[in-house]
Amino acid sequence: MRLLSQREKTFLRKLFNAYDIESIKYIILRNYDGLPDHIGNDLDVFIPKDQRKKARDILIKLAKDLAFPILKKWRLEYFEAFWIITGKSIPLHIDLYPGAFTWKGMCYLSDSDLCDNRKSYGQIYILSTEHEALSLCSTSLLWGGVFKDRYASRIKSLLSDTIVRERFDNLFQKTFQTEVPEWIYSGDKVHLSVLLPIIHRMRNGVFKNSFRKAPLRTLFSFAKYCLYEIKTLCRPPGICIAVIGPDGSGKSTLIEATIRELSPYFGSILTHHWRPSILPDLGVLLGRRDKRSLGESVADPHAMPAHAFLIGTLSLLYYLSDYWFGYLTRVWRPLSKNHLVIFDRYACDMWLDPKRFRISLPEWFLKYAVWLTPQPDLYILLTGDPELIHARKPETSPADVAECLYKMNQLLKVYRSRAVIIDSMQPRSAVLDEAKKSILDVIKRKSSM
C-alpha cells in the first residue's frame, strides 16, 4: 500500500463524484480498505459495458483539467489501463474493467447482478460480500490457472458469516456448474494437481452457461477477444531495452536501479544476459564448459584464442538462431503482457567486442549479421573515458575499451531513434535520470501509436 498525495486524493474524489453525477454505476473491485488515503499497486474499477466510453472520457478529461498527463494507456477487450503522472515518482495506475467477470469474452456474472447488489463503503461503492469473494477466487483461477495465496485469508474472512457463505455457495454452483472446493473456505494451500480439475470444471461451466443462453453471442465475443489478443501481440504494450557498454561502464548498476524505478509501469520485469538463452550455451552443449560456471565473472574475457573461420561462423549462426527463437518465446509474449524485458548486452556485442565471443570474422559481416536479429525498442549505450572505465574493471585493455566505445558511436548512427548514448562518468543518479527519461519517452511513444 502506498500513501496518496493530496492531489491524487482530489483526483479520485472528483472522478467518483463525476461518475455519480453521470449515473455511472462503478464498483471498486478490491483493495479499497485504505481509500482515500492509500491504494495498492493499482486501483481496479468495474464499469458496466454500456458505460465504458463515458467512464473513460470522464477520466481522461479530468486528468487533462488537473494537468495530470496520461503517460501510458493500454486497452484490451475486458479492461483499459491508465498510468497517470501526478507529480510523484510513482504514477497513479487505474484499471477500468467493463469485463471484470468475463473469461475470454464469455460473461459469467451480468452487469445488472453486480450493480444491483453493490454496496456503499464511505463515499465509494464496492462489491457485495459474496461477489467480492467470488471475484478474488475466480479471476486468478480462470485466467492464470492459480489460486493466489495472498487472497486466501481475505476470502476466508468474507465467508465467515453463515448466511454469506450460503449465498456464495449457491452463486458459485450456479456460475460454474460445480461444487465449491473446501480449500476455498479453509484458505489452505493446495497443490497444482488439486487445482487443475476444479479449473477445468469452472471453465467448462462458464462456456456451457454462456453458450446455452446465447450461442452466437458467445462465439462472437470469443472471436472479439481473440482479435484483441492478436492486436496486442502485433503492438505489445511492454518494451524491450538493451543496455550496452564495455566492462566497467556500469551496466549492472543501471539495470538494478531501472528495475526499482520502473516497476510501477509494468506487470513485471524480466532480465536476460546477452541473449534469450532458449538454446543452451555451446560450451555446455559440447561438454567443454560446466553449466554451473555460467553467469560467473571472467578474469580475462579476451584470454581464449579466436575460433577457426568455420567454427566461428557456425557459432555465430547458432547464437543468432537463439535470438530469433528466443525472442518469440521469451521476449515477444512477455511484451504482449505489458512486461519490461531488459538485456545486459545484446547481439550487437558480437560486433562491438568479437574477442569476447572468440569470433574472428570480417567486421562488415558481423555488423550486418547482428543487424538482422530482432531489435529492442531502445538501446542504452553507456560511454565514458576509456582510462576511467578500464580503472573500474581492468579485465580488458584500454585499447579494447576505446575500440568498443568507437563502435558504439557507429551503432548510435545505425539505430538513430531507438538508441540513446549516456556518459557513465556522471553521478549514478544522473545516469539513471537520463535512462529513465529515455525509457519513459518510449513508453509514451508506444502508447500514442
Which pLDDT tens digit goes with each residue over 186-244? 878 888 888 899 999 999 999 999 999 999 999 999 999 999 889 888 889 999 999 99
What number is the average pLDDT over the span 276-292?
A: 75
| pLDDT for res 448 | 73
pLDDT of residue 1: 72
pLDDT at 283 over 80: no
Is the CB of residue 398 less than 8 Å from the CB of residue 390?
Answer: yes
Mean pLDDT, range 410-439, rounded to an integer: 91
The answer to whether residue 418 scores a pLDDT higher than 80 is yes
Q: Is the pLDDT of residue 299 over 60?
A: no
- The predicted pLDDT at position 291 comes to 59
Higher-confidence residue of 61 and 1: namely 61
Q: What is the mean pLDDT of the chain?
A: 89
- Kindly state the average pLDDT of the residues 109-126: 93
* 75-84, 321-330, 389-398: range with lowest mean pLDDT: 389-398
pLDDT at 356 over 90: no
Judge whether residue 290 has pLDDT over 70. Answer: no
pLDDT band at 37 (very low <50, low <70, confident <90, very high): confident
Q: Is the pLDDT of residue 177 over 80?
A: yes
pLDDT at 287: 67
Average pLDDT over residues 328-333: 91
- Determine the pLDDT at residue 76: 86
Lowest-pLDDT range of 143-147, 253-257, 286-290: 286-290
What percent of the chain has a predicted confidence (pLDDT) above 70? 96
> Tell me, what's the pLDDT at 70?
92
Residues 6+ apart with CB under 8 A from 27: 45, 46, 114, 115, 118, 125, 126, 127
Does the predicted TM-score (pTM) go above 0.85? Answer: yes
Angle between helices 363-371 and 309-327 (to 10 degrees): 10
